[in-house]
Amino acid sequence: MDQTTLLYVMTAFVIIAAVALSIQAGMLVAVNKKTKDLHDKITPLVPQVESLVESTKATVELSRKQIAEISSRANDILDSTKNQLAMVEEVVSDATARAKVQMDRVELVLDDTLSRAHETVALLHSGIMRPLREINGITAGIRAALSFLSRGDRPSVAQATSDEEMFI
């Protein structure tokens, strides 16, 4: 490559670089203009935003106070509930223990009553029923003896019953 060609190539690149720098400068001017326009539009909003920020800070602080108060009340309620639950648990455990003692006593009384009733039935059976059976047996024996003695003679074949005829 000779010197003139190199000079033309370098000149072309310098021109391209100059055009690029000119375009960049134009774009920088346009960005500057848009930035100023945007600044002019935002400037009136700054006091409104500042007042909004102040009211937001006040609202946030008020909310913090209310949340702290609600948390405090909720903690108090929880503590009260825990205390009352402990008292209820004591009452229930005491009632359970008393009920168990009473059930044990009822079971003892019931066992004693059943054993006494059993003893009474056994005494009634041996003291009253046995002599009654003995008397009933003696009476049946006397009745059979009297009936035998009152018949006098043996029954005739004419008086035989159907059961007796089968054996004759």
Average pLDDT, the chain: 88
Residue found by looking up tokens 């909003």 in the block: 45
d(CA 68, CA 60): 12
CB 129 within 8 A of CB 122: no
Q: Once rounded to an integer, what is the mean pLDDT over residues 151-162?
A: 59
14-28 pLDDT tens trace: 999 999 999 999 999
Contacts of 168 (CB under 8 A, 6+ apart): 157, 160
70-96 pLDDT tens trace: 999 999 999 999 999 999 999 999 999
- Measured N-to-C along each axis, helices 3-42 and 45-124 cross at an angle, to the nearest 10 degrees, of 70
Is the pTM value of this prediction over 0.75? Answer: no
